[in-house]
Amino acid sequence: MRLKGIFKEKSSASKLGILFLLIFVSFILHIIIATGLVYLFADNGLVLIQQQDLSNQASVNYLKLMQLFTAVGIFITPTLLYAYLCNFDLKLRLNFSKQTLRQLLLAIAIMLLINPFISFLYEWNMSFNLPDWLMAYDLKAELLITSFMRMNSLPDLGFNLLVLAIVPAIGEELLFRGYLQQKFEKWLGKPQLAIIITAILFSAIHLQFQGFLPRFILGLVLGYFMYWSGSLWLPIIAHFCNNAMAVIFVYPALSDYAYLAENTATWQEAFFSFMAVGLLAFLLQKSINIKKG
């Protein structure tokens, strides 16, 4: 039986329902698989599953594994299945050429140079008075990330890059820029509005409200990368670079360069960052337009 495009002719509402069903089923199955792996192969798997002690490295590793399978289960597997079953184009194409390489380098440079501006926005966002129930989400996320960032070896660094950079970059871009942004653009007929709405959802789903504004701005940047290039690989690679930088500079052997990823910046640094990113974004858009022409 040929399953590719089997739901292609379904209504938009039906397709949305199919996507939600795929996400739900995929999430449950991936959680079961991850839990089963820990239970079967860890010496004290049942204890790790029940206690989830952030002071215990074995428990933290279990939580990392759960995070990995959860991200794959929510973002990657169901989105790819949806694209296959509904014959949806996620724009996963990348033509290798000197022009493409230049665009990738410009996108990476933007993600590196935008950090002071994002840090300034983060500090400003933290000054907002938020309800206690929202702050609880931030505190929980902060404790979890702090425990994840404890690294003592290169395998720890590699696992963190997989869990916190590679999988989120691929998965979140598949769902948000690959699917949602394209769908909103089709429904609304306004690409700019589609980018904004997708960026809002992208930031909100992280449930870290003290970082909502800077993550929203990053979502806008990634959205424009997708819109300008017509390829999902540009925001995926840029997203990976942003996350990887935060992971790499926490590694003890590279701690001397941690200032490159610090969440502090003066308004002068933020202004320079904003102007530099604006210039590079102009060059990137111009480069893509020349290629299209």
Whether 243 shows a pLDDT value over 70: the answer reads yes
pLDDT (tens digit per residue) in 106-149: 999 999 999 999 999 999 998 888 787 778 777 888 888 888 88
Q: What is the pLDDT of residues 151-202, one digit of tens each?
A: 888 999 999 999 999 999 999 999 999 999 999 999 999 999 999 999 999 9
> What's the pTM value of the predicted model, to 2 decimals?
0.91
What local confidence, expressed as pLDDT, does residue 107 receive?
A: 95
Task: Concatenate the DSSP letters of all residues of the chain into one string.
Answer: ---TTTTTTS-HHHHHHHHHHHHHHHHHHHHHHHHHHHHHHSTTHHHHHHH--TT-HHHHHHHHHHHHHHHIIIIIHHHHHHHHHHT---------SHHHHHHHHHHHHHHHHTHHHHHHHHHHHHTS---HHHHHHHHHHHHHHHHHT---SHHHHHHHHIIIIIHHHHHHHIIIIIIIIHHHHHHHS-HHHHHHHHHHHHHHTTT-GGGHHHHHHHHHHHHHHHHHHS-THHHHHHHHHHHHHHHHTTSGGGGGGGGGG-S---HHHHHHHHHHHHHHHHHHHHHHHHHH-
